[in-house]
């Protein structure tokens, strides 16, 4: 990892200027409807509403079995009730009531960079969904990820200004992997870059990995627990769980151009997931092929500039 990136992360750790990723902010020069349409192609991604002693909150999650959702640890660690809403075959959403939920045993809300922000929710009632397959390889860095969720929105100039509850998806380069604990690579990082030819605020390419992709996107408040997918062998795999965002440019706007985000790396937790689901590692039937012709070349390629 570059020395500059290490300094940025060390600063975030010391300052505590991180916020749970709760849908996301989009390029200011693109139509939000395109991001919504893209998001709706990811059927295993649903919305969860949980309550704790402070009130009700929204997160996102991804079905990895007909009885299981994978989400962020901070969405379940203090939850007292848990309700999920997943797309159904008639164009609406079906409601499921969570039976049990658990955060990773090492999760600590006060240390986002430790890399343990992952959790599971179990449902007695089988969900009508084709589950996503988790990604078990370690080649995500340097490629492109698809970020999904139901969080608040806005764009690269305004930061987060919209409401929670609309599903979106977008793209971002996966710049590096790092964490302060565990295997040292339990978080996947990306930055929200401006377009090269349309950058009114003169925002920086924070991680120096190139300017915005055609569907550049950052998770925001409410995207927590949503899926970060990679495209391999003609289908999408769940490679990350949205964890937090950082006001790296210090302008008090969250998830605007120049800020960064992190997702908990699923491949670091594949054994933990298998253990909790009481299953051995074996290929799962997917049937979930989401080839999007217009974006295929972007997803398969490495970083591209626009």
Cβ-based neighbours of 15, under 8 Å, separated by 6 or more: none
Inform me whether the pLDDT recorded for 18 exceeds 80.
no
> Cα(154)–Cα(166) distance, rounded to whole angstroms?
12
pLDDT above 70 coverage of the chain, percent:
84
Q: Are residues 192 and 260 in the same domain?
A: yes
pLDDT at position 1, please?
A: 52
Distance between CA atoms of 234 and 219, rounded to whole angstroms?
25
Distance from C-alpha of 169 to C-alpha of 187, rounded to nearest angstrom = 20
Q: What is the DSSP string of 57-82?
A: EEEEEEEEETTEEEE-GGGTTT-SEE
Helix (H) or strand (E) holding 297: helix 293-300
Q: How far is residue 215's CA from residue 56's CA, in Å, rounded to a whole number?
A: 31
137-146: average pLDDT:
98
Query: Within a domain: residue 243?
Result: yes
Least confident stretch, 122-126, 156-160, 278-282, 288-292 = 288-292
pLDDT band with cut points at 50, 70 and 90 for residue 144: very high
| Unique residue bearing structure tokens 């490495």 | 302
With a CB cutoff of 8 Å and minimum separation 6, the contacts of 164 are: 22, 23, 58, 150, 151, 152, 221, 222
> Per the structure block, which two tokens stand in for 14?
């010391």
Instruction: For residues 122 and 234, state if they share a domain.
Output: no
- 306 in a domain, yes or no? no
Question: Distance (Å, rounded) from C-alpha 119 to C-alpha 111?
Answer: 16
Range of the domain at 107: 45-131+274-286
Which pLDDT belongs to residue 23? 60
Q: Is 213 in the same domain as 245?
A: yes
Q: Are residues 55 and 112 in the same domain?
A: yes
Lowest-pLDDT range of 8-12, 104-108, 144-148, 272-276: 8-12
245 and 112 share one domain: no
CA angle in degrees (0–180, nearest 5) for 241-93-57: 50
Query: What is the C-alpha to C-alpha distance for residues 18 and 295, in angstroms, rounded to an integer?
Result: 31
**How many angstroms separate the first and last alpha carbons of the chain?**
25
Tell whether the model's pLDDT for residue 109 goes beyond 90.
yes
Range name among 17-21, 54-58, 167-171 with the lowest pLDDT average = 17-21
CA 134/CA 141 separation, integer angstroms:
16
Tokens 């996947």 belong to residue:
188
- What is the Cα–Cα distance from 294 to 101, expressed in whole angstroms? 38
Least confident of 118-127, 233-242, 278-287, 293-302: 293-302
pLDDT band with cut points at 50, 70 and 90 for residue 279: confident
Give percent of the chain with pLDDT exceeding 90. Answer: 82
Q: Report the alpha-carbon distance of residue 291 to residue 179 in Å, rounded.
A: 32
State whether 217 and 117 are in the same domain.
no
What Å distances lie between residue 270 and 72, 105, 238, 280, 305, CA to CA?
A: 15, 15, 11, 10, 33
pLDDT score of 267 more than 70: yes
> What is the tally of structural domains in the chain?
2
What is the structure's pLDDT at 89? 85
Stronger pLDDT, 149 or 24, i.e. the higher one: 149
What confidence category does residue 22 fall into, taking pLDDT thresholds of 50, 70 and 90? very low
pTM of the model: 0.86
Inter-residue contact 226 to 150 (CB < 8 Å): yes
Whether residue 303 is predicted with pLDDT greater than 70 in this model: the reply is: no
pLDDT band at 6 (very low <50, low <70, confident <90, very high): very low
286 vs 269: CA distance, rounded Å: 20
* 305 within some domain: no
Same domain, 159 and 181: yes
Query: 62 and 184, same structural domain?
Result: no
Instruction: Identify whether residues 152 and 125 lie together within a single domain.
Output: no
């Amino acid at each position: 990892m570059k020395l500059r990136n290490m300094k940025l992360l060390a600063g975030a750790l010391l300052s505590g200027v991180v916020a749970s990723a709760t849908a996301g902010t989009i390029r200011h020069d693109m139509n939000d409807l395109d991001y919504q349409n893209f998001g709706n192609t990811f059927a295993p991604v649903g919305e969860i509403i949980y309550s704790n002693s402070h009130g009700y909150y929204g997160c996102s999650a991804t079905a990895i079995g007909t009885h299981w959702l994978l989400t962020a640890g901070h969405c379940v660690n203090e939850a007292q009730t848990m309700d999920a809403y997943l797309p159904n075959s008639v164009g609406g959403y079906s409601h499921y009531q969570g039976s049990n939920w658990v955060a990773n045993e090492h999760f600590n809300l006060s240390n986002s960079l430790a890399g343990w922000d992952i959790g599971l929710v179990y449902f007695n009632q089988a969900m009508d969904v084709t589950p996503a397959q988790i990604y078990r390889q370690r080649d995500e860095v340097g490629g492109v990820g698809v970020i999904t969720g139901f969080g608040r929105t806005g764009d690269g100039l305004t930061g987060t200004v919209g409401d929670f509850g609309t599903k979106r998806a977008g793209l971002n380069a996966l710049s590096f992997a790092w964490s302060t604990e565990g295997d040292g690579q339990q978080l996947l990082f990306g930055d929200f870059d401006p377009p090269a030819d349309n950058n009114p605020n003169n925002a920086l390419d924070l991680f120096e990995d190139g300017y915005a992709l055609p569907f550049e996107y950052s998770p925001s408040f409410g995207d927590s627990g949503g899926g970060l997918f990679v495209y391999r062998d003609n289908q999408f795999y769940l490679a990350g769980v949205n964890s937090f965002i950082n006001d790296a440019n210090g302008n008090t706007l969250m998830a605007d151009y120049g800020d960064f985000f992190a997702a908990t790396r699923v491949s670091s937790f594949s054994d933990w997931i298998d253990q909790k689901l009481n299953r051995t590692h074996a290929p799962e039937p997917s049937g979930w092929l989401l080839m999007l012709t217009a974006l295929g070349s972007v997803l398969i390629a490495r970083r591209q500039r626009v």
